[in-house]
Copies of this chain bind each other. A is one copy, B any other.
Amino acid sequence: MHQTLEVSLFQELEKQPLIDPHSHINPHAAASKNLADLLGYHYYTELAHSAGLAKDQIEGPEIGPKEKVGRLVEKLTDLDNTIQVNWLLEMCRDFFGFTAERLTTDNWEGLYDAAEQKMSQPDWEQQVLQQSKLEKVFLTNDFDDPLEGFDTGVYVPCLRTDDLVFHFTRKEVRNRLAKASGIEAADVTSFRSALGKLFEHFASKGAKACAISLPPSFSPHKVDLGAATSVIRRAAAGQTLTLAEHEMLSSWVFWTLAEFCDEFKLPFDLMIGVNRRVYESGVYQGQDLYDKRVSLIQYKAVLNAFPQVTFPISVLTHMSNQELVSYAWIFPNVVTNGHWWYSNIPAYIHADTLSRLEAVPRNKQIGYYSDMYKLEFGLPKFRMYRRVLARVLAQEFVQDRGWTEEQALTLGRQLLRGNIETIFKI
């Protein structure tokens, strides 16, 4: 019984027009130009490298797109079990009419050419948006992004703040901040003013969120004014900071950003748990991992200090999901946000979706975001989520709790779309 039901719920959810609340789309080149843009996604390069392909075989300016695809395709037989290769096949089938069971050394060239032809159509980007039912896609913009030359009604700006919080000691970041804000951040007052300028700029362009990814060791606290004064001056002067000073500086910037989120009424997306450059010889974007020993208790101070700021929280691991469930259940300003990166596979999405639906108010759950770099990935990624969501709705709600199919669908639609509108005020 519930297998038929699952399919029927899935098909209904497929019809839902979407707002994607987190991506890394470049709005000036949102869609792909060829298969190399798809297979160049770090999931494929890092998995192929992990399975034995040398980094220099796929990275380097001298490798043409078709050559690169050919080399990656050879390695796909070792990866065809992964859900990421499943995304690839779904894209090839849905966008390019690919019909074979696998992408192989025998059939990829024909696909490459057919895909390139289709992707060169002038309205390809619009086709992808329509076929994927994507109405709006949130971006993750550098703080000095001019936010010009694209339709902010479709590509919604978001202020990414990693560099400000963790890399202000780099001269290049200070220069970018000075240029973007028109203010030299040299002390508490001028640094705060510079940050304020960024918020004004982003707000004027319709930004809907501030976002940051955070290492497992970070635990922000309110920094004493005197201490902040001293450490900002030293950093602005290019002096070397101690580890404690670095943390103080990061805390101060983070706290100040939260203050501006409060003032500008912007949700602050926290993406908690990533260690950068753990595998230093890895391919581009395939070097980051984590330490699972992280707790949301590290955010106790900030969650209490900013009751009016909504914090959509993403956790990098399934082991952090129960904390996210519990914190969202207790703190009015904590919202569960999607299924991030290493947890973005059906096994973990299923377990995490189920626990969230059993214990977090339904208006506080953002079901999914794509995290994509190229527009074509929205379709298979959201579809993976919809499959899992349909299964959970069928089993837990219709079968076990006796909900009607329509009640279950209403819940599903709220997770997929409705809550994004209310939480990000769209």
Residues of A bordering B, CB below 8 Å: 46-47, 49-52, 78-84, 86, 275, 278-282, 286-293, 295-297, 300, 303-304, 307, 317-320, 322-323, 325-332, 342-343, 345-348, 351, 354-355, 357-364, 387, 396-397, 400-401, 411
- Tell me how far the C-beta of A246 lies from the nearest C-beta in chain B, rounded to whole angstroms: 19
Within the assembled complex, what's the spacing in Å between the Cα atoms of A79 and B357?
10
Asked if A287 contacts B330 (CB within 8 A), the reply is yes
Main secondary structure of the interface of A (DSSP, over half): helix
Indicate which residue in B46, B52, B304, B326 contacts A329 across the interface (CB closer than 8 Å): B46
A77 CB to closest chain B CB, in angstroms? 8
Q: Which of B82, B282, B351 contacts A330 (CB 8 A)?
A: B282
Q: How far is the CA of A330 from the CA of B55 in the complex (A)?
A: 12
Q: Find chain B residues with CB under 8 A from A292 CB.
A: 295, 319-320, 322-323
Q: How many identical subunits does the complex contain?
A: 3
Cα of A62 to Cα of B142 in the assembled complex, Å: 51
| Partner among B79, B83, B325 whose Cβ is within 8 Å of the Cβ of A361 | B79
Decide: A82 and B360 in contact? CB cutoff 8 A.
yes
Known: A51-B332, A322-B348. 10 other contacts (CB 8 A): A52-B332, A82-B359, A275-B297, A288-B330, A289-B297, A293-B293, A317-B322, A322-B342, A342-B359, A347-B355
Q: Is the CB–CB distance between A363 and B280 below 8 Å?
A: no
Set of chain B residues within 8 Å of A362, measured between Cβ atoms: 78-81
| Chain B residues in 8 Å Cβ range of A86 | 401
Complex interface: chain B residues within 8 A of A290 (CB): 295, 297, 323, 326
